[in-house]
Amino acid sequence: MTDVTDVAEVTDVTDALFDSEVLEADLPVLVKFTADWCGPCRQLEPVLKALAEEERGRLKIVRIDVDRNPGTTVRYGVLATPTLMVFRAGEPVKSLVGARPKRRLRQELEDVTAPVV
Task: Tell me the residue type at 74.
Answer: V
Strand-pairing partners, residue 95, are 85
- One-letter-per-residue 3-state SS of the chain: CCCHHHCCCCEECCHHHHHHHHHCCCCCEEEEEECCCCHHHHHHHHHHHHHHHHCCCCCEEEEEECCCCHHHHHHCCCCCCCEEEEEECCEEEEEEECCCCHHHHHHHHHHHHCCCC
Which residues are catalytically annotated?
Answer: 38, 41
